[in-house]
Amino acid sequence: MLVKFAVVGASGVIVNLAVYSLLIFLDFNYLLAAIVSFAFAVTNNFFWNFIWTFKGRALDKSIERKYFSFFVISLINFGLNIVLLKELVANLGFHEVVAQLIAIGIVSCLNFVGNYTITFREKKVQEEGII
């Protein structure tokens, strides 16, 4: 499951960096570019995680509830991504694209843990007859 999540994450990184790089090329502010690229990447990642990585998990939750949970977890991690991105660019002098790649790498592990334990968590079945 972790390997599938990593593959999906890699596709999200490609989507994120493609949109981000295009917006940087078009002279968008790097923070605004990060926000727009995040929206594209999170939707891409939810779709692939829903139909492939976590397929058939958390059947007690609607797709809307899963997307909301996935989005909130991603948004929290995106906040951390923005803080890291700003620190790497403004204070440590990294190129914007390199800094974004580093920030994405750091928050990816948190995204997996959050989505495995919250979004796609399996409902525990209580054993019958045990007091």
Residue 86: burial class (beta carbons within 10 Å; 0-12, 13-18, 19+): middle
Q: How many CB atoms lie within 10 A of CB 40?
A: 15
Cβ contact 45:12 at 8 Å = yes
Tens-place pLDDT, residues 72-111: 999 999 899 899 999 999 999 999 989 988 998 888 888 8
Q: What is the pLDDT of residue 48?
A: 96
* Cα separation, 96 vs 44, whole angstroms: 22
Candidates 57, 75, 43; CA nearest to 119 is 57
